[in-house]
Amino acid sequence: MTHSALVPYDGSQRSQSALRYAADVFGDETITALHTLDPFATTPDSEEQARERYERAEDVLETVRAVADGRSTTISSEFVYGHAIHTILRYADLYTFDRIVIDGSHRAGTATDSFGNVPEAIVRRARAPVTVLRSMSDNGRIASPDTVLVPFDGSSLSCNALKHAIDMFPDAAVHALYVRYPFVDDLDHLGVRSDDFSDFEEWFDAVRTWHERADRDADRVLGIADSIAGDTDVEVRSVTETGVPSPVILEYADRIEADHILIGSHSHDGGTRILLGSVAEQIVRRSPAPVTVVM
């Protein structure tokens, strides 16, 4: 089965590195580089303005051909006039791409996109898994990851991320990391209010009850990870750490020198899923390693 990857492309060195990453790491997939031209504020007054923008976009696509030279991977390219965020998301849905690979500093065809940070918007709203790259400047061949980290809490989102890691990087050592931290799915439950109790002892009892609902059994959670690994040949190492998820995940990734992080996100309801989405955004912003966000 042929898979496909979409690379939003602005022609910068970092964007070229993102395209090389997609071509080298996902070399058995069809790669499309999509350059977007942020629209004029109003209808252009002259054909000359539009022609200048058009020719500049053609120059950007010439750099795609330079990246493709010497690689057997098929890389096609196109530019589209329109708002970057909407265009990328619509294009990805229209042609049912299996993944999106984007540089973390991606810009549209003008100085800045008028509707906000493009990579973060794509992470929040794309239907396909999104890989965000940071500090990519290598002009040579890029090897597939040796060490992959999957933050794992037993939810369907983290299960999807672990399955995706096994499928994407079958030759890598995959670490399934469970960070002990309380999560509550009940959005209608406010928490432990001081006004509901007459003294500290009553309040503390309620806190303990809250933790009985929120704390999870680490062995049970990681047992789910082990069952996903199943009979595959992929090496999955189950690990437990304790603390606030984002810094713990980043510290662990640094400790094992993770080449790639895959994390579950995307949902519109459920307290755990809201927190997972927040953690995913922080990991995308702060991780020096590539991060794939899986819905």
pLDDT in tens, 46-62: 899 899 999 999 999 99
The pTM assigned to this predicted structure is 0.87
Question: How large a percentage of the chain has pLDDT more than 70?
Answer: 88
**How many whole angstroms separate alpha carbon 282 and alpha carbon 92?**
24
Report which DSSP code applies to 195.
G
**How many whole angstroms separate alpha carbon 23 and alpha carbon 224?**
33
Q: Domain of 116: which CATH number?
A: 3.40.50.620
Look at the chain and report how many structural domains it folds into: 2
- Per-residue pLDDT at 131: 96
pLDDT band at 260 (very low <50, low <70, confident <90, very high): very high
Kindly tell me if the per-residue pLDDT of 107 is higher than 80.
Answer: no
Residues 33 and 56 in one domain: yes
225 lies in some domain: yes
- How many helices and strands in the chain, by DSSP H and E? 9, 10
Residues 213 and 113 in one domain: no
Q: Which amino acid is at 193?
A: R
- Per-residue pLDDT at 115: 44
Last residue of a domain, one of 133, 158, 178: 133
140 lies in some domain: no
Contacts of 11 (CB under 8 A, 6+ apart): 35, 59, 60, 63
Residues 106 and 198 in one domain: no
In total, the chain counts a number of residues equal to 295
- Per-residue pLDDT at 268: 42
Last residue of a domain, one of 88, 104, 133: 133
Residues 195 and 116 in one domain: no
Among 27-31, 35-39, 250-254, the range scoring the smallest mean pLDDT is 27-31
pLDDT band at 21 (very low <50, low <70, confident <90, very high): very high
Residues 209 and 109 in one domain: no
Strands 4-8 and 99-103: parallel
Last residue of a domain, one of 65, 99, 133: 133
Residues 90 and 154 in one domain: no
- R_g of the chain, CA atoms, integer Å: 22
Displacement of CA 142 from its chain's centroid (Å): 19
Q: Which domain holds residue 184?
A: 147-294
